[in-house]
A and B are shown apart, each in its own frame.
Chain A
Amino acid sequence: MKKKHILISAIICFGSFFSSCSDYLNVERYFSDRQDLDRIFSSRDYTEQWLANAYYQLLSFNLEIGHVRFTLTNYSDDMIFTEGGAGVSFSNYKFGAYGPQYGGNVGALISRPWDQSYEGIRQASIFLQNVRPGPEITEEMYTDLKGQAYFIRAYLYWLLLRKYGPIPILPDEGLDYETSYSELSLPRNTYDECVEYISEQMLLAANHLADTRSTRDASRPTKGAALSVRAKVYLYGASPLMNGNAEMADFVDDQGRPLISQQYDEEKWAKAAAAALDVIKLNKYELYTAPKRLSGGLWGAYPRTIDPPYHPVYSEKTFKEGGWSDIDPLDSYRALFNGDLYVSENPELIFSRGDNQLNDEYGIQSMTRHQMPVNKGGGWNCHGITGKQADAYAMIDGKPFDRNTSPKGFTEHDGQYPYLRKDVWLEYANREPRFYASVAFSGANWSNTTARDAQNRDFQTFYYYGEDDGRKIVSTDDRWIPTGIGMMKYVNPKESYKDGTVFPKVDPAIRYADILLMYAEALNELTSSYQIQSWDNSETYTISRDVAVMKASVLPVRLRAGLPNYDEIGVGDPYNNPEEFRVHLKRERQIEFLGENQRYYDLRRWKDAPVEESQMIYGCNTTVPKEYREYFYEQVVVPSVQTSWSMRKYFWPVSYDELRRNARLTQAPGWPSFD
């Protein structure tokens, strides 16, 4: 009997062991207090953090303006850089070799914008799938957060589209990384599909987003931002490169479907115009103007306002009334870029990355440092602008600059001409205010008023051979500008990298001036009238080439710069001739948006790049020393920064690795595929 007892007790003993075995493999108790999606989207802080990661993808390689290593597209036929080899790297880039000579690596340059955008897209998609109202997130916040995620996702697609051309649009819920590689292979969508997708997403965003932002939320998008991007995307879709472009017939997906429309469709322009009008009709934005300054000298950090030549209308009216009587054109323009204006102080700024530019490695600050003179400014003195760009700026009366008729010689004393000091080449005198805000010509004054050492304030920089900031005997020294023309835009007159303060700056990613010019540009292309619904279907626009509308649209941009409209400068009436108007508008954009990552893409979408980007680059003759300074200003071909054009430069290539991983992806025209 005893045996049995033992046995039974043993069996019971094992039995109890078995029962405790049922959760032997259960490890959930270790992980129950860990982070998970549910927890993240229940908490306001975590939710915002999740979104912050998506926003973060707008930085580094997705910046509009920054160090050349990240924003190569900011350098078209207007700006140049030398990052090693006295401009060799610039030439290499212009010849289509996106090589590692910019200090980063070539793989990163080509693939990181791609990766980064898609990473942000996934991040935003997950956000959209999970964000929900709750105790910490009110319905109102929820709606706005959702709008932001829609915006960021569509904006990243836009950045991709602009750079790489038609790209694969992923399903809204994101790709399932657990399926097979073949299922994860997606072909490119057509350009038009991309445009429609982004537009539709931006409408969603606009329906969710707030109208205005407080100082604390200055860098979040608004309704206006979403509509602006939509307008821009439509404009690109309507432009010659994408609209019935037979040259792109061989840009196809893996099934042979053309990705760029082969049929010209004028209505696309009408849609673009209507989308721009949507933004204008918000009545929320206006161009920034700085008040007229009556104190101060003729040159220096903040000189007295120089009135534009008298105009019977504009000189009598305030800016609000349609004149320039109460504004300072120089300040009005440059304050947009140089950090004098914060995001929320600028009524023109529609979207900006705001404060997230301060990184010395890649932000705008890094770029301005490359523009500053070396010795007295503490900069790197290696980014400049081309002779073509410098010549594009009009005279103070709005007439085009003409080298043949321009007086030669040098200024004799400080303040002889507006903004100019002594010894400045007279071709630089009497130019339009935006010239002085943008160009650091030889002899320009660098105010640098926060520099501690008086020597480093209010100094002139000359780019003659052998000067501090000119070309050196040792030609391998990169601290000189091959065109002999520096860049002033974005530089704050107060700042100094040498021994002063550096001012944070906001990036003008989308500003109202752009919308106005886009509107005029789109209208100019129309030959008939179109009925287009407004974004919220509240009204139906009748869109046609209405000269009055075009004039009204262009005028504020001109007035703010202290210039009369195109038909008032004595070169005829371009408004009556679409061809002529187009030339003027392109010139306007070239000047207004210098260094804002616009011209590179503008030239491409207009199909002007094959001409403009293959022209030889001219500049001052940097081999001329001070003694023969008048010869310095003779425009010569700058051998170290040259350029060429090939088809491949329309769109960026996709990295080999990505092509190998996504078998259905096709390479952009002109670029070799891995096989």
Chain B
Amino acid sequence: MKNYILTILCLVIYTMGAFAQQTTVRVSGTVVDEKGEPLIGATIVVKEKPGLGVATNIDGEYSMTLESFQYLQFSYLGFETQEHLIKDQDMVLDVVLEESHATELDEVTITGMGPQKKVTVTGAITTVDVGTLSTPVSSISNALAGNVAGVLAMQRSGQPGSNTSEFWIRGISTFGGSSSALILVDGFERGMDELNIEDIESFSVLKDASATAIYGSRGANGVILINTKRGSDGKVSVTGKSEYTWTTRTSTPKFVDGLTYASMANEARVSRNQRPVYTDQELMMIDEQLDPDIYPNVDWMNLLLKDGAPTYRSSVSVRGGGSRARYYLSGSFLDEGGMYNVDRTMKEYDTNANYQRYNYRLNIDMNVTESTLIQVGIGGALEKTNHAGASSDHIWNSVFGYNPITMPVMYSNGYVPVIQGEESEMLENRYNPWTVATQTGYAEIWQNTINSNITLQQDLHFITKGLKFIGRFGYDTYNYNYIQRRKNPEMWRAERQRNSDGEVVFNRLVPERLLEQFSNAFGDRKEFFEAELSYGTDIGNHNIASVVKYTHDNYINTSSYGGNIMEGIARRHQGVAGNLSYGYLNRYLLNFNFGYNGSENFAKGHQFGFFPAYSAAWNIAEENFVRDNVDWLSMLKLRYSYGEVGTDNSSSRFPYLAEFGNYDRSTGAGSQAVSYNWGDLNSSFAYNGLTYTRVSSNNVTWEVARKHDVGVDMYLFGDKFGLTVDYFSEARDGIYMVRSFLPDMVGIQGQNPSANVGSVETKGFDGNFKLDHRVGEVGLQLRGNFTYSKNEITEADEMVNRYPYLRRTGFRVDQAKGLVALGLFEDYEDIRNSPRQDFGDARDVMPGDIKYKDINGDGIVNNDDIVPIGSTTRPNLIYGLGLSANWKGFDFNVHFQGAGKSNFFINGFTVYPFVDGEWGNILQDMADSNRWILGENEDPQAEYPRLSYGGNSNNYRASTYWLRDGTYLRLKTLEMGYTLPKKFTTRFFFESVRFHVIGQNLLTFSPFKLWDPEMGSSNGMRYPLGKTVTCGVTVNI
């Protein structure tokens, strides 16, 4: 490091001298656009003399002096650059810059090798227009679903601080280690969620093997490349943005009122020939609210949740610099409020689920010499999350668990009620929702990320033209501090009968717990180094480019590992990657990539793997016969790639190392130290046992993905219509697994060994299209994308199984499995004539209970009849459709997003009414649905079976009856903006001012109504996803 700094310092001092210059000619004038509007801050530089330049003032005027016979370059962002030759006399030069119409053919794709013209790309890469991603949400991951072809995503929770999405590039193709993509920010492996969206300059998704090969093993699950904004030549530009968001919920579960609850509880008991829970007199008391201490009627959901919560977000960035040095500086602040009601009497601390984040970033580019560029970037995020002392899961568990009539919020004498009060921590979630959310203290989480990186780019044209060296070094630290301050009040429960004096009898179930603190901390450190040598040249119509790159990275967990030697060792990779590409007239393109990667986690000899990738493209539109005859075809490119990628995702460290110790598989008589005494009675000569507690798995090595990709890129009618479609298939072999089914005969004591034994095949397609059309002054753009991916386990570590459907092999990763329901039993005759249902006591099955299919035909329905049903919880299909329009200063954007091919089971007390007796509330939807009611609605196709109280082992099983369709379509974004006319804004020294209103998740269409299907939750007990309305303003100075 020291060397770098010294070198940079030297270079900076050295370049100071270059500013000296001679003056011979004076040029002045104005720079305007086609409409005559002055362009403020347009850059005027002397060609090939970086550092010599000025910018126009507020009226678009400039003046400068320079040596004669030089070219002056006039440039402005979004306009075509012009060059004018200055001769040997002073002159006035007024320039009209034309707006640039960058065509799709010039569109640049950010690849692993750097920016590349889209026309020459042979791999499968989606570059996303960051503008379409900008959303008011705190994390960019939430904007990926339906916006980026090739990405499948789902958001599981709406809780501030954890409301990010999980996503997978082209789906999940392994069940071994991690299936998540590599995210590179400015070339360094970093998180995406704590990034300030405004700082993002470009966003690319690399999908096939040829695109990710250069990243070697790390890129097996796809790569996301994010570059942050950098400084630019020219006048200082300041952008400020401020947004206020009101967040409500996409779906709030509704529960029944007290009387309905009580009547249904009675129904559940009576219809199973049991005594009702509540007497008629009690029902009346509930209805009339005569004794709210014993028979209250509480709407817990309403009590717990506010209507909505505010989020405030603002950011400022400054961008500027000259040709020698440029900078980008930004800061942002986010404050997301939680939706819980808080106890207003508590002023000292906040129990709400709040999230605050501060971001900063500084990117500096310096041309130290004409051929040397040094880039320095520093960024960071400081996050603070707050929540109630009990966790969010507890809160949601309790709000779904408390029925309206068992407990009041507070007894009239001020006692805090609780339904069940074992001291066990596990039952904390049975405190009442108000107690859990407000009276259990609070917890704070602080997270702190600092990213820093430095890049040296050296043009080596003095050796040979086209040769370039790039060195990168990055250093990131992260730390996490969690402090929970827990307490709870004394809690009571009233007996259901008043005593003979008419007084309520209270039992203390939970003693008071004074404030106690629990805390933990975690941290990590990442180092990354990369050295790259690239060479590119054109020989006639032939274009050759190659890159060789050396990388190593180091990740170490800096928290305490106790005695675990293995965890104390940094995770490291090392590799060489390279690329060789050949192009002829942008018509025929060939590409060869390789990665030679090593991981410290494997045994010597298995550490390195070689992973080649090949790709080719044929740009048909460039063929003469096409170009001459078909003028509406701007581009038609066929791509094919094949490559291998390895990954070292293994859950255990150093599987090749054996461990030894005193091991005792429980004898059935309780564990004890293994020892054997060879001595006679009363003559001890004992030795402790010693054996492998973990055998070495010597052959464990890379999990290898073989990926094929066939793609078409097409632009028609002068780029008005663009389409990209890719078909992909991937075979993932050697998935790292613990070999759980070794015969016992092998005689392994301790942990079973691991091996690369699993295989998964993934197939699918993704694509996107864009259609631009201009109707008069209205510009329209229609765009859409879709991603579909389906996987199948072709090999998994499994035992022989009698029924093939009980195996994992042949089915999807995370395939849902359950019984096949045939509806409800019509009558006892039906039960007698059907196979015996062997769950619990078969004699308990009654009409109105679920009837299952006897898959194996053995006359008994049991666990052998569980078959794959539906698909997986994670959607296999994601699509999006957007339309944007602009007219004068107005812009309008609407975006729909949907997911298909997903199923999940619903279960638990939320949907199995009275499964835990009095614990568990009843959803209004359930009460109102077409449910089976004895004597009233004995519909064998009813949505809910005959009620039961206290669980029912026949009905409450994973089956098609409880399998729900997770498909949905939602109006993800609706945005309207207005940019004030420039004439108006310039008067206030503003470059531009834009007001916008954005609605998110405004509408959701789904066959599933109980809660938001995207959460994939089986019981809905999670912080709901947000439905937001945002107003904001963006100002550019």
Contact = CB atoms under 8 A, between A and B. Distances in A.
Interface of A: 2-3, 6-7, 9-10, 13-14, 17-18, 21, 24-27, 30-31, 34-37, 40, 45-46, 48-53, 55-56, 59-61, 69-70, 104-105, 108, 111-112, 114-116, 118-123, 168, 170, 174-175, 177-178, 181, 184-186, 215-220, 339, 342-344, 354-356, 359, 361-362, 504, 506, 655, 657-663, 665, 674-675
A186 B746 CA distance: 10
A359 B753 contact: no
B698 interface: yes
Nearest to B368: A6
Nearest to A55: B676
Nearest to A505: B681
B565 A661 contact: no
Nearest to A345: B680
Contacts of B456: 10
Contacts of A36: 658, 660
A314 to B, nearest CB: 32
Given A21-B574, A46-B690, A186-B745, A661 B799 contact: yes
Interface stretch (B155-163, B324-332, B736-744, B946-954): B736-744
B7 interface: yes
A25 B600 contact: yes
B747 interface: yes
A657 B946 CA distance: 38
B663 interface: yes
Contacts of B598: 24-25
Interface stretch (B199-207, B502-510, B667-675): B667-675
A220 B678 CA distance: 6
5 contacts: A25-B572, A219-B676, A339-B681, A362-B667, A660-B801
B10 interface: yes
B744 A115 contact: yes
Nearest to A104: B668
A665 B681 CA distance: 41
Nearest to A24: B574
Given A25-B598, A52-B687, A105 B679 contact: no
Given A14-B531, A177-B748, 15 more contacts: A25-B600, A34-B657, A53-B690, A56-B664, A60-B669, A116-B665, A220-B678, A343-B680, A354-B678, A355-B681, A356-B677, A361-B669, A362-B668, A657-B744, A659-B800
B552 A354 contact: no
A343 B682 CA distance: 11
Contacts of B680: 215-216, 218-219, 342-344, 354-355
Contacts of A2: 14
Nearest to B599: A25
Contacts of B369: 3
B668 A52 contact: no
Contacts of B685: 216-217
Interface string B247-274: 0000000000000000000000000000
Nearest to A118: B747
Contacts of B659: 35
Contact of A216 (B569, B679, B697, B743): B679
Given A219-B678, A339-B681, A362-B669, A175 B746 contact: yes
Q: Which 7 A-B pairs have the closest CB atoms?
A: A122-B747, A53-B689, A49-B690, A361-B669, A660-B799, A218-B680, A60-B667
A598 B685 CA distance: 29
A121 B748 CA distance: 10
B458 interface: yes
Contacts of A50: 689-691
Contacts of A175: 745-747
B742 A361 contact: no
B689 A114 contact: no
Interface of B: 3, 7, 10-11, 14, 369, 371-372, 456, 458, 471, 529, 531, 550, 552, 565, 568-569, 572-574, 598-600, 607, 654, 657-660, 662-665, 667-670, 672, 674-691, 695, 697-699, 739, 741-749, 753, 755, 799-802
A655 B565 CA distance: 38
A37 B695 CA distance: 11
A178 B698 contact: yes
A665 B676 CA distance: 32
Contacts of A359: 669, 672
Nearest to B600: A25
Contacts of A30: 565, 568-569
Contact of A21 (B11, B552, B689, B800): B552
B689 A14 contact: no
Nearest to A213: B678
A659 B801 CA distance: 10
B746 A6 contact: no
Contacts of A46: 690
A151 to B, nearest CB: 13
B753 A177 contact: yes
A44 to B, nearest CB: 10
A177 B749 CA distance: 12
A216 B531 contact: no
A185 B699 contact: no
B995 to A, nearest CB: 50
A52 B674 contact: yes
B570 to A, nearest CB: 9
A185 B783 CA distance: 57
A25 to B, nearest CB: 4
B379 to A, nearest CB: 25
Contact of A14 (B471, B565, B742, B800): B471
B18 to A, nearest CB: 12
A175 B744 CA distance: 11
A61 B668 contact: yes
A354 B37 CA distance: 104
B434 to A, nearest CB: 44
A18 B552 CA distance: 10
Nearest to A355: B677
B530 to A, nearest CB: 11
A118 B746 contact: yes
Max chain B Cβ within 10 angstroms of own Cβ: one of A18, A30, A120, A674: A30
A634 B744 CA distance: 50
A32 B863 CA distance: 49
A532 B681 CA distance: 39
B493 to A, nearest CB: 36
Contacts of B574: 21, 24-25
Given A119-B749, A122-B748, A52 B689 contact: yes
A356 B676 contact: yes
Max chain B Cβ within 10 angstroms of own Cβ: one of A104, A168, A219: A219
A355 B679 contact: yes
A649 B216 CA distance: 60
Contacts of B676: 52-53, 55-56, 59, 219, 356
Contacts of B679: 215-219, 354-355
B507 to A, nearest CB: 34
Nearest to B371: A3
A59 B672 CA distance: 12
A25 B744 contact: no
Contacts of A216: 678-680, 683, 685
B3 A13 contact: yes
Contacts of A185: 743
Given A10-B7, A50-B690, A356-B677, A121 B747 contact: yes
Nearest to B664: A56
Max chain B Cβ within 10 angstroms of own Cβ: one of A178, A658, A662, A675: A178
Contact of B746 (A48, A184, A215): A184
A383 to B, nearest CB: 18
B745 A662 contact: yes
A654 to B, nearest CB: 9
Contacts of A7: 458
Contacts of A21: 550, 552, 574
B745 A170 contact: yes
B599 A661 contact: no
Nearest to A218: B680
Contacts of A220: 678
